Structure 1
Amino acid sequence: MKKKQFWILLIVGVCLWSLLFLIKQSFPTQAKLKNDAAIIHPNSLSENRPISSPLRAKKKTKSFDEIAKNTEKISGLFTLYRDKDKNKLYLEIQPEQLNKNYLCIITLSRGIGDGFLLNGLSLDNFLFHFRRVGDKVHFVLPNLNFRVRSDEPLGKLPENSFSDSVLYALDIVSIHPTRKTLLIDLSDLFLARDDLPGLNQRLPFLLGAPYTLDSDKSYFGDARAFPFNLEIETIYGFSAKGEEAFFNYLPTVPDSRAFNLSVHYSISELSANSDYIPRLADDRVGYFVTTYKDLSDNRRRDAFVRYINRWKLEPLNPQEALSPPKNPIIFWIENTVPKEYRAAIREGILIWNSAFEQAGFKNAIEVRQMPDNAPWNPADVRYNTIRWSNSLEAAFLGIGPSHVNPLTGQILDADIVIDANVVRSIKDEYRNLSSLNESTPSLAARSANWCEGDSLSPISVGTKLPPFFRQWMEEQDLCLNLAAQQELTVGPLALSLLKGITPTSATMGEYVHQFLRHLVAHEVGHTLGLRHNFHGSTMLAPHTLNDTSITHQVGLVSSVMDYVGVNLAPQGVEQGDYYPVIVGPYDRWAIEYGYKFSGERFPTMERRFLEQIARRAQEEELAYATDEDLRGFLDPDVNTFDLSNNVLLYAQWQMDNARRMWERLEKRYPQQGSTYSDIRAQFNTVFFYYFRQARLVTNYIGGSSFNRGHPSDPNGRLPFEPISVEKQREALEVLQKYVFAPDSFIFSPDLLNQLAPSRWNDFGLQARSGLDYPILDNILALQKRVLRSLLSNARLNQLRNLELKTQPDRALTLPELFNTLQEGIWTEVLHPNRETLNISSIRRALQREYLDLLTKMVLRRSEVPEDARTLAWYQLNQLEGSLEEVLDRAGDRLDGYTQAHLFETRDRILKALNAPLQSKQQLGKQGIGNRK
């Protein structure tokens, strides 16, 4: 009995003790809830939003008024509170501003003049909203890729099906007791270590070494608020990280271990009641597009909706055929642009007004000069500007990004940046030339290769670019600028060598004026929404390119949105325009499609109106091909830096021009005041120009024409039209004559011995370790690129396919290609005579490259069609027999080089032919033959 009472008393005691403990714990919880009330008022929570746990620890905070007391208040779209002494910038969010979309545009306002980090570069733009979740404000990028139809023309975003992206969860610093507004610290957003523009992730690729954001060196610059936008400048300090960064060299900063970047943020409101009518895209007309998937109707053939990117442009008098706009598109020329170039820039902008006249607008674009004392920043989203940038070496000559409403495709802002290096007539291009041989080429070289679209060459290295950089290349048109630098240099050099024009002459000034005007016109076209059109340069026949009575009337090209090569007249022809002076027929037609007023209120109601414009696509001068058409497909009319509707003939003219320039370079140089390094740079400029023409010729072999017309278009053609066998054979003859023949490259020793490099070794120019000019290596690099492209897996497969797509005996077959190449490259062996008995060093190197390619095919060390592998085996057998015959008949009359070369070649062929075959499984284990 006593034992039972003991246990009862023990249980009661434990219960009483537990009760007292819980009561004691409840007191601090209540006090804590009182403190929480000052931070998160229950009434301020959004509907259906979680309330933070009352047991969650809270840091001590100040009241709203206490925080704002010693700050500068900046009122506008959002109210800002700035404390410069403490490097603090607070943003006040009204309750009605939560869950509301805003546009953020991020621009690099000050770079380092290297690694593509140049002022004016657009870093990103996106839609975002602030979302209240408990005691946090989430910075949310809504998912705009999927929408459902509603009563609104644009539809609405689906809920629960697809995820948004929450980039930041920001602490609520305080809540105003009466306004219920939320105060957040913008340092948590703009100065966070995982920076909003993603520079931490981009810098290692751009600079070749890791750099990280240093919060202690980062701060806010200028901050302004306006009724519809915020403009905030941030200065990011970056420091080297790790041994690799410590030894990295950045020539444009005093110490490579640290530098600053300034980033400009423009935050603007998107009007929910805008009367802008999105316009549906058409694949026959080249516009950048805003795309989403419509989840409302499964009966549609294509669930994707595509709107073109364009400005809101409405006629003041819709009933008139030609009307001024209600609100013109205004471009401001920045006050930093040198006065001597402002006229060319103005012309390059206004050149588009003639295109808008075809769309029914008079003076659709205006140009204004930014005053020297302008109170606004060129990065301000309210101003479209033409900016002037300086760099050590130009990563671009001009870029033309625009910023759009991602819901509708409406263009809201555009800023074109021109690099000051555009006006330098001749620059040293040796670093680019040497990239033909580099195993680890520079960023600029890799980018240039990618831009050339040489996807058929196995040694092309330009495709290994990260997604963000490829996006930069396309959206900001960096490709034009990388290659245009070479085009810009060859023009003045040709004028000097072929025409005797001096650098200070009026003719040279006109050349720079035309180039700058064309460059600006191209970039303005991008800001109007237009994509590249690489068909644009094929409008005129070669003999009409220099007839200004034609080029001033209809244009030099059908579109300035092509990468237009400099127009150099062949010998004996009077020079016409170097670059287009007016926009072409395609440009006017594309602007008509994008901007002509229909009077309709909904996008779908414009379909018939737009179809009447687009169905003209089959007209020759309206042909359109863009970036994705340039790579991986052989169309001789779709290239960069070509001219005329007969590229095969035009390329020969330009290679003849290049040969004459080499001849005259020796006779006319060195001149007074020039250096031998100048001659080296000029020699390389011509070399690159020559190589580009040869690359254009290769596109005929295995090539087809492609057009984007629809079956219902008038005078419709099939999408694919194989290049005639006659043209392909002619192209092979041209390559034999200008690239592979024994006399393709003949230079005098005196010229080659003048090609000395600059020996300056400072941040302006680093001396190279090799003094001598590697003429053999550079010639072989050119020949190798052409030969490997001709025998690439992609081209050989295309030739096989064309045999099925062409009438019998109307296709260039693989046997004919192999036989033609072998006949041309091994002429000395297959057709020996006393004059060609001994083989030069240039030819020996080319023959070794050919032998290497065919041997890899036979030994299954390269990916090629089986028919090509069989033909390679056959060609080597034939060559071995010819080698045996030559060595037997003329072995004692051969020089030492040739005799050793032929004996070694025969030995390699015999070993390859007698090597045991390996199965694909065995080769797969070695990593051979299964490349993707």
Structure 2
Amino acid sequence: MELRQGYFDFYYQTSEDKLYLLVDKVEQPFIFQSSLPRGMGSNDIGLDRGQLGETRLVQFERFGNKLLLKQLNTYYRADSNNLAERASIDEAFATSVLAGLPIVASDSGKWLVDYTAFLLSDIHQIAPRLDQQKQGTYKPDAKRSGIYLNRSKAFPLNTELEALVTYVGNKAGEYVRQVTPEPDAISVHLHHSLIALPEAGYQQREFHPYSGYWKVEYMDYAAAIDQPMVKRLLPRHRLQKKNPDAAVSEAVEPIVYYLDPGVPEPVRTALYEGAMWWNSAFEQLGYKDAFQVKDLPADADPMDVRYNVIQWVHRATRGWSYGAGVTDPRTGEILKGHVTLGSLRVRQDFLIASGLTGPYSGEQADIEKQKAMALARIRQLSAHEVGHTIGLIHNFAASANGRASVMDYPHPLVTLHNNQVSLENAYREGLGEWDHYAIQYGYGDFSKAQLAKLVAKAKQDGLEYMADADARPAGGVSAIGHLWDNGKDPVAELMRLDEVRRFALHNFGLNNIAHGQPLSSLQEALVPIYLLHRYQVEAVSKLVGGAFYEYELKGEHTQPKGFKWVSTEQQQQAVQALLATLTPKFLALPDSLLALIPPKAYGDSDGRESFKGRTGLAFDPLSAAEASANHTLSMLLHPLRLNRLTSQGQLDSTLSTLSDAVMKSRNQKGHALLIQQRVRHVAFYQLMNSLTHAELSPEARAGLYQHMQALNEWLDKHDKDPNLKLLHQQWQQFEDSGEWKPVFKPLALPPGSPI
């Protein structure tokens, strides 16, 4: 056998393709990290190269002829010196045995176990994920799997093991077929990291809801009766000054991130520059070169826990980037940061920039400004995902707060200047004020009282903060937390963005695609420009039935800021701004542009980035208008929003305003009339969808039902219009049967996020 010595020694037997682990630490906790070093390449399935699995606190225990690898329950604890009290918690809650490893030899407190079957097992839960997503029924096949010795290594404080695992099955779904050469056999790599617990000396930091960090949470059954049982800690890297008394000092151990050598230029430089923005925040704390970015050594394994890495990951379609890590579940100490950046993201920003500016006026196009905007986004994205891996969560209030953080999702801030679309200030360069505050809170050498003052100053300075739970839901209540928006006043920004969009659409044409491209590719170039408003619509909709509040603790303010509804006047302005996106004037495309777009050229085809239509091969501008209108109306008529409007006494006026503007307006002709009629069908669908939605409160349901009855009376009086008659008949069918059976379902928008 071939021996590798380290934290856990292991032996590899070539003749049998078996891996044996030498266990000399029994009933001693360590960290077990699973990961996926080679993935499937599908954003939809979500099994990417470099993806980390769960971080587990485990230990080996002997039971007769085998060692059990047991995952300890770290959520339920007793932070107590009383061993019996701690044991009572261990006995009260379940643990989980991950594997039973047969002992093949033993000697003086050492056990040699056959680790092969466990290494080839589905630790990453790939088969259940494929089944849940209806992509097929699969299971690992040991005969088509094997130990990958090139990435199986042992070091003093960690042992890294890897295998090629083949999943065999049938009924392969669309996404599997898209990325796998033989859909009945999916071969990926699985990785196990066995990691020694970090040495003592790490200082835990208590979580604060305004800190801007993720949380590591557990329940402490030893907490005093007058103290909360739920404890929360900040996740962060260990960072200490070599000279704590010096104004500026190097770190005992700097935070070093290693860049994927497979990233091409100029993206590589952009990733490096964006990640290095964080060093400026640590410099403000008096550190010299505490945050560094280097090239990943040629012989290094990206999954090795010793390396924080930034990986450039390819997929069949554009998709999300993310920052994950290996975090000690006991303390919150980050042991490894792992950034995954989707390689197709940069192309989406370039597409937006090209669609806005039309740079292809000749065979030799000048596209430097467009590339500059795309690379500016990559710098920001690199900083954003690295931010996650040093502990930070999203701040979705930052873009409306002077672009105060890279931890927001930024929409390009494009403007009209000298009768041209300007890309000069699309993305902010460098960290924002919130980012510097967050690093101070998480990594500064401050007492609890000093941290409280830091929070108070941040609020006094006007730094706003909203995390995912408040900003992501379509029916969210926060008036300041939004994704992909800009501007402090959402309504004003939507109106400004409308001007940019109108200008770009008026000038949209052959100059928006490269020389030699099929004219039909204008469809895909058009999508992000026609829908330039989509995210700002979401921000505006959240003013309707929205509120202002912040994360605050008792005692932080003499008078708590509490909870305040958006004023009635602001809500009405928001409704009017949303209704403006439903008009034929807003939704119609220029005839000159429509005359340029033929059906798809042979060899090309519609994809997920294309508008869906109802006219066969011909481009369908009416369905594009339908999808856009459906987006606005689904946000405005979200059941949770209607519930809040009911509690504020504003439901009836909002619905009446909508019906007057959309359902009852009859002043259009030609193509504008067709758009108006289609929007009516969309509005009726969304009204009925909300009326029958399980989340609608009984009071809101009663109010909406009454409104629909009144609308039906109006429809009955105008049944000479066949479209209005169809709506009337649908209502009557609902009244007669008590069941909503739509004859029309609006088309969805092409994918928007991520950009």
Could you tell me the TM-score, scaled by structure 1's length? 0.72
Contact in 1 for aligned 2:359/2:365 (Cα 8 Å): no
Counterpart for residue 253 of structure 2: 327
- State the alpha-carbon separation in 1 of the partners of residues 91 and 622 from structure 2: 64
Q: Partner amino acid for 1:611?
A: A
Counterpart for residue 231 of structure 1: 160
Higher helix share: 1
Is 1:869 the counterpart of 2:702 in the alignment? yes
Q: 1:823 to 1:499 in 2, by over 3 A?
A: farther
Is 1:166 the counterpart of 2:7 in the alignment? no
- State the alpha-carbon separation in 2 of the partners of residues 790 and 160 from structure 1: 51
Tell me the alpha carbon deviations over residues 632-658 of structure 1, each in whole angstroms, 9 at most, x when there is no partner.
Answer: 423232111011211211122223222
Contact in 1 for aligned 2:437/2:458 (Cα 8 Å): no
Q: Which has the higher Rg, Structure 1 or Structure 2?
A: 1
Contact in 1 for aligned 2:404/2:432 (Cα 8 Å): yes
Is 1:585 the counterpart of 2:516 in the alignment? no
Aligned with residue 254 of structure 1, among 181, 194, 207: 181
Offset at residue 260 of structure 1 (A): 0.9
- State the alpha-carbon separation in 2 of the partners of residues 823 and 314 from structure 1: 64
Counterpart for residue 785 of structure 1: 631
Aligned with residue 98 of structure 1, among 17, 22, 26: 26
* Matches for 1:58-77 after TM superposition, within 5 Å: 71-77=1-7
Q: Partner amino acid for 2:338?
A: D
274-283 or 342-351: bigger deviation = 342-351
Counterpart for residue 552 of structure 1: none
Q: Partner amino acid for 2:241?
A: P
Q: Partner amino acid for 2:33?
A: I
Counterpart for residue 680 of structure 2: 847
Contact in 2 for aligned 1:618/1:716 (Cα 8 Å): no
- State the alpha-carbon separation in 2 of the partners of residues 721 and 500 from structure 1: 55
- State the alpha-carbon separation in 1 of the partners of residues 646 and 290 from structure 2: 51
- State the alpha-carbon separation in 1 of the partners of residues 174 and 723 from structure 2: 45
Offset at residue 594 of structure 1 (A): 0.6
Offset at residue 227 of structure 1 (A): 0.9
77-86 or 713-722: bigger deviation = 713-722
Q: Partner amino acid for 1:564?
A: P
Tell me the alpha carbon deviations over residues 670-710 of structure 1, each in whole angstroms, 9 at most, x when there is no partner.
Answer: 66322123201011222332333323321111111221123
* Matches for 1:427-442 after TM superposition, within 5 Å: none
Counterpart for residue 496 of structure 1: 358
Contact in 2 for aligned 1:618/1:709 (Cα 8 Å): no
Counterpart for residue 723 of structure 2: 901
Q: 1:493 to 1:159 in 2, by over 3 A?
A: same
- State the alpha-carbon separation in 1 of the partners of residues 385 and 692 from structure 2: 49
Aligned length: 726
CA RMSD of aligned residues (A): 3.4
Contact in 1 for aligned 2:527/2:609 (Cα 8 Å): no
- State the alpha-carbon separation in 2 of the partners of residues 908 and 422 from structure 1: 43
Aligned with residue 106 of structure 2, among 175, 182, 188: 175
* Matches for 1:207-222 after TM superposition, within 5 Å: 208-222=135-149
Contact in 2 for aligned 1:131/1:138 (Cα 8 Å): yes
Contact in 1 for aligned 2:360/2:511 (Cα 8 Å): no
Aligned with residue 456 of structure 2, among 615, 625, 635: 615
Higher strand share: 2
The residue matched to 1:681 in structure 2 has which SS? Answer: helix
- State the alpha-carbon separation in 1 of the partners of residues 576 and 360 from structure 2: 26
Q: 1:634 to 1:210 in 2, by over 3 A?
A: same
- State the alpha-carbon separation in 1 of the partners of residues 704 and 259 from structure 2: 61
Is 1:747 the counterpart of 2:673 in the alignment? no
Contact in 2 for aligned 1:388/1:417 (Cα 8 Å): yes
Aligned with residue 345 of structure 1, among 254, 268, 271: 271
Is 1:773 the counterpart of 2:619 in the alignment? yes
Could you tell me the TM-score, scaled by structure 2's length? 0.88
Offset at residue 390 of structure 1 (A): 2.6
Contact in 1 for aligned 2:625/2:675 (Cα 8 Å): yes
Offset at residue 566 of structure 1 (A): 1.0
Is 1:538 the counterpart of 2:397 in the alignment? no
- State the alpha-carbon separation in 2 of the partners of residues 635 and 500 from structure 1: 47
Counterpart for residue 43 of structure 1: none
- State the alpha-carbon separation in 1 of the partners of residues 733 and 698 from structure 2: 18
Counterpart for residue 415 of structure 1: 338
Offset at residue 339 of structure 1 (A): 4.0
Tell me the alpha carbon deviations over residues 735-763 of structure 1, each in whole angstroms, 9 at most, x when there is no partner.
Answer: 22222x23222224453351533543799
Q: 1:419 to 1:870 in 2, by over 3 A?
A: closer
Q: 1:750 to 1:129 in 2, by over 3 A?
A: same
Offset at residue 230 of structure 1 (A): 0.7
Contact in 2 for aligned 1:251/1:763 (Cα 8 Å): no
Counterpart for residue 63 of structure 1: none
Counterpart for residue 54 of structure 2: 124
Offset at residue 714 of structure 1 (A): 4.8
Q: 1:697 to 1:73 in 2, by over 3 A?
A: same
Offset at residue 124 of structure 1 (A): 2.6
The residue matched to 1:771 in structure 2 has which SS? Answer: coil
Q: 1:145 to 1:135 in 2, by over 3 A?
A: same
Contact in 1 for aligned 2:34/2:55 (Cα 8 Å): yes
Contact in 2 for aligned 1:252/1:763 (Cα 8 Å): no
The residue matched to 1:302 in structure 2 has which SS? Answer: coil
Counterpart for residue 658 of structure 1: 501
- State the alpha-carbon separation in 2 of the partners of residues 502 and 727 from structure 1: 49
Q: 1:717 to 1:659 in 2, by over 3 A?
A: farther
- State the alpha-carbon separation in 2 of the partners of residues 860 and 160 from structure 1: 45
Counterpart for residue 107 of structure 1: 35
- State the alpha-carbon separation in 2 of the partners of residues 723 and 764 from structure 1: 40
Aligned with residue 390 of structure 1, among 309, 314, 325: 314
Contact in 2 for aligned 1:618/1:717 (Cα 8 Å): no
- State the alpha-carbon separation in 2 of the partners of residues 269 and 861 from structure 1: 50
Contact in 2 for aligned 1:585/1:621 (Cα 8 Å): no
Q: Partner amino acid for 2:319?
A: A
Q: Which consecutive unaligned segments of at least 5 residues does structure 2 have? A: 741-755
Q: Partner amino acid for 1:822?
A: S
Offset at residue 880 of structure 1 (A): 3.2
Offset at residue 322 of structure 1 (A): 3.0
Counterpart for residue 822 of structure 1: 659
Offset at residue 262 of structure 1 (A): 0.9
The residue matched to 2:355 in structure 1 has which SS? Answer: helix
Q: Partner amino acid for 2:662?
A: I
Offset at residue 523 of structure 1 (A): 0.7
Tell me the alpha carbon deviations over residues 881-904 of structure 1, each in whole angstroms, 9 at most, x when there is no partner.
Answer: 5863x78xxxxxxxxxx7333455
The residue matched to 1:126 in structure 2 has which SS? Answer: strand
Q: Which consecutive unaligned segments of at least 5 residues does structure 1 have? A: 1-70, 425-484, 541-556, 599-605, 804-812, 888-897, 925-932
